[in-house]
Amino acid sequence: MSNQNNTVDFKVPNLKAQGGLKYIAGLFFVFVVVMSSVVVVDAGKVGVVKKLGAVQEEALNEGVHFKVPFIDTIIQVNTRLNSTKSAALSSSKDLQTVKTEVSVQYSIKGAAAPLTYQKIGLIGQIESSVIEPAIEESVKSVTAKYTAEELITKREKVKTQIQIAIQDFMDTTLNNKGIQNGVKIANVAITDFNFSPEFNRAIELKVKAEQEALQAKNEKIRRVTQAEAAAAEEKLAADASAYAITAASKARAEAIRREAKSLKSNPELIQLRIAEKWDGQLPKFNGSSAVPFLNIDSINTKK
């Protein structure tokens, strides 16, 4: 039998190509290791290091840091100013139901971020388990000290007390977990007070009554002012008239006094005044023919 068809061909491996693939794979592995060894912490954040799941005490500041590949995990925690809103239902001092909406601005302290993350969690857990309960409890305790009307008229004072109460509640909660100054309140704003419809109607009626009373008071003041002004004008007119009469009377009295004085010192002047007034007609008397005597000569002599 012939063995020509039983020949087996063997391919020689391309060692050069295999070496190239290994080289590329080695470079890729080195690249992955290098990239896994570097972490960049963004601005406004700190890095919480977890070494095989265990949280490390020291936080990484923003910037470039090295870590152990496949061993260390970096959790970036936001330390910027954050904001959350919450509504709390409570009762005022005069037993009015009030729904208070509060907005809280807060920030996580970088140095306490690892422990805060370990004991509580990230921002979502902090808000739900620390801040929101603090808002609810603080609003209830503060609003109970004021009447519904005072909550509106003393809004700034109420806000300040709520902010202090929220921070105290949060500090107590964090201290119980061994976290000192982990979260700080920057500002608290009362966005709204919502009262019952009955109370709102009562306030509207009160405001309307006060406005009407003020309007009536202003109208009364206006009328009194007008009456006083008219009386003052009448008094001025009367004073002016009385002054004119008094002045005229004084002038006439002075004239009479002077003329009387002249007549007293000069009797002949009486005869002169009579002559000046005489119209040349002799007076007539019924039942008598007597003619009153008028000394014309003496008058003419004086002239």
For the chain, what are the domain ranges?
Answer: 18-78, 82-195, 266-302
Which pLDDT score, from 0 to 100, does residue 297 have?
Answer: 52
Helices (H), the chain: 15-36, 113-119, 123-126, 132-143, 148-153, 155-176, 197-265, 268-277, 296-302
Predicted local distance difference test score (pLDDT) of residue 67:
87
Q: Is the dihedral of CA 225, 230, 233, 234 positive or negative?
A: negative
Bridging pattern class, strands 38-41 and 45-51: unpaired
Task: Give φ, ψ of 27 to 5 degrees.
Answer: -60, -40
Res 3: pLDDT: 46
102: nearest Cα among 183, 192, 195: 192
Phi/psi class of residue 15: alpha, beta or left (left: φ > 0; alpha: ψ in -120 to 50)?
alpha
Query: According to CATH, what is the number of the domain 82-195?
Result: 3.30.479.30
- What does the pLDDT read at residue 35? 66
DSSP-based three-state secondary structure for 190: strand
Quote the DSSP letter at residue 86: E
Question: What are 66's strand-pairing partners?
Answer: 38
Cα 70 to its chain centre, rounded Å, is: 56
SS3 87: strand
Query: What integer pLDDT is reported at residue 30 of this predicted model?
Result: 64
What is the pLDDT at residue 1? Answer: 45
- The per-residue pLDDT for 2 is 45
Look up tokens 């063995």; give the residue. 3
**Alpha carbon distance 104, 189 (integer Å):** 7
Contact 133, 106 (CB under 8 A): no
Report the distance separating Cα 106 and Cα 84, nearest Å.
8
Distance CA 296, CA 282 (A): 13
The pTM of the full predicted model, rounded to 2 decimals, is 0.56
d(CA 48, CA 119): 13
Residue of 170, 150, 16, 225 whose CA lies nearest to 233: 225
Per run of 10 residues, the mean pLDDT along the chain (length 303 residues) is 48 57 68 74 92 91 88 91 89 87 92 93 92 92 90 90 93 91 90 79 75 80 82 80 78 75 66 66 56 50 47
